[in-house]
Amino acid sequence: MSKFWNKKTNELLPYVAGEQPKDGVKVIKLNTNENPYPPSPKCRGILDNIDIAELRLYPNTDSQIVRESVANKFGEYGIKAENVFVGNGSDEVLAICWQSFFEEKNNTDKKVLVPSISYSFYPVYSQLYDVETEKIPLKDDFTINADDYIGRENCGIAIANPNAPTSIALSLTDIEKIVKGNPDSVVLIDEAYAAFKNEYETAVTLVNKYPNLIVVKTLSKAYGLAGIRVGYAIGSKELIDGMMRVRDSFNSYPVDRIAQKLAAAAIDDDAYYQECRMKIINTRERAVKELKELGFTVCESSANFVFAKPSWIKAGELYAKLKERGILVRFFDKPVIGDYLRITIGTDEEMNGLISAIKEERA
């Protein structure tokens, strides 16, 4: 609290990111869903060839080279550069969606619908941008019931698919049902983890059919580029133009020159992306099997993390014991999800380290 902060700043309840160990401290870091593998080797070439004189100049406002790479990646679904918005991490892209599409409570009685358990940043954006949120309960097994989002008044809908921290995916059929059933509001599908579904599926395939659909994606997970902060949205030109208006009222140059080049190179290297996501999926399947053998209940994961409940110890206690051993996982000290740990999938070696530590704790 401070007398110099305005009322809203004093009242904010900000998002709490997973802890970041100090540089040089060696830990097994399985707490923020980063990729255990480096980005595409093409990124090395970009960094080696940066002309520092170029850095005098502002970057391209629209991150045009990234838009073109994204349009190329999803070209078969009719996506063009004009359908792509690029921002400083998908967190920023989500924030701009909130400001562009969801109505302030002064102007409406309607609320933005989000799942009761989901990315905890969503209610934070609502608070910051004065939007009312309605949390729609998940089913007991943590799945989302698409019908709960039909016939319910709203000023927008935001769903992470796969959901976080549950790791569970909703089918494309259900997503389409929600988008089709809400033609007067924007439906935001946050696909931060979509690359890790066994059978790749994306709502981008629906964008050309539904002008009210916006799909948000990130370079932070499957592309191993969390450090450069690049995310993007794909939607109708009408939605993208609205986001540009908000961006140009806040920060016209959200993505720096180096980040734009690295992001475009990584997106263009589809073979490396496929290899990385498959390695992570394979490690996940093995880790799930081992965790189950150790008495965990594990949600069916389509993400680069698992949501797992230990049977013999409280989740918070296990989190603390692993931390003492230099293994960081994520524990949310909240009702219901507080029984679970969210564990990022690391390399095979890191997961072996985790499993051995759990075995020792259990013994």
Ligand X SMILES: Cc1ncc(COP(=O)(O)O)c(C=O)c1O
Q: What residue ranges in 53-144 does DSSP mark as E strands? A: 84-87, 112-115, 133-136
Pick between residue 195 and residue 358 the one whose CB is nearest to ligand X: 195
Task: Using CB under 6 A, pick the residue from 29, 30, 33, 59 that binds ligand X.
Answer: 33
Q: What x-and-dash track marks residues 34-73 binding ligand X by CB under 6 A? A: ----------------------------------------
33, β-bridge pairs:
none
- Supply 287's token pair: 């880790």
**How far apart are alpha carbons 15 and 120 in whole angstroms?**
7
Pick between residue 168 and residue 358 the one whose CB is nearest to ligand X: 168
Q: How far is the CB of 151 from ligand X (least distance, A)?
A: 26
Task: Using CB under 6 A, pick the residue from 220, 236, 260, 301 that binds ligand X.
Answer: 220
Pick between residue 149 and residue 223 the one whose CB is nearest to ligand X: 223
Pick between residue 126 and residue 220 the one whose CB is nearest to ligand X: 220
Q: Which of residues 186-205 bind ligand X (CB under 6 A)?
A: 190, 192
Task: Using CB under 6 A, pick the residue from 39, 115, 231, 346 that binds ligand X.
Answer: 231
Q: Which of residues 278-307 bind ligand X (CB under 6 A)?
A: none
Task: Using CB under 6 A, pick the residue from 86, 95, 164, 315 that binds ligand X.
Answer: 164
Q: How far is the CB of 160 from ligand X (least distance, A)?
A: 4
Task: Using CB under 6 A, pick the residue from 35, 126, 133, 218 that binds ligand X.
Answer: 218
Residue 166 binds ligand X, judged by CB under 6 A: no
Pick between residue 224 and residue 231 the one whose CB is nearest to ligand X: 231
- Burial class (CB within 10 angstroms; exposed 0-12, middle 13-18, buried 19+) of 16: exposed
Q: Which of residues 81-120 bind ligand X (CB under 6 A)?
A: 89-91, 119
**How far apart are alpha carbons 207 and 189 in whole angstroms?**
11
Q: How far is the CB of 93 from ligand X (least distance, A)?
A: 7
**How far apart are alpha carbons 294 and 301 in whole angstroms?**
17
Pick between residue 164 and residue 354 the one whose CB is nearest to ligand X: 164
Contacts of 212 (CB under 8 A, 6+ apart): 179, 182, 183, 184, 185, 186, 187, 236, 239
Q: How far is the CB of 34 from ligand X (least distance, A)?
A: 9
Pick between residue 289 and residue 334 the one whose CB is nearest to ligand X: 334
Q: How far is the CB of 112 from ligand X (least distance, A)?
A: 15
How many residues lie near ligand X (CB under 6 A)?
13
Contacts of 119 (CB under 8 A, 6+ apart): 160, 164, 190, 192
CB 186 within 8 A of CB 291: no
Q: What residue ranges in the chain does DSSP mark as E strands? A: 28-30, 84-87, 112-115, 133-136, 156-160, 187-190, 213-218, 231-235, 296-298, 305-310, 327-329, 341-344
Q: How far is the CB of 259 from ligand X (least distance, A)?
A: 12
CB 328 within 8 A of CB 322: yes
How do beta strands 133-136 and 112-115 pair? parallel
**How far apart are alpha carbons 283 and 278 in whole angstroms?**
9
Cα(first)–Cα(last) distance of the chain, in Å? 46
Pick between residue 110 and residue 342 the one whose CB is nearest to ligand X: 342
Residue 160 binds ligand X, judged by CB under 6 A: yes
Pick between residue 158 and residue 357 the one whose CB is nearest to ligand X: 158
CB 252 within 8 A of CB 65: no
How do beta strands 231-235 and 84-87 pair? antiparallel
Query: What is the binding site for ligand X (CB under 6 A)?
Result: 33, 89-91, 119, 160, 164, 190, 192, 218, 220, 226, 231
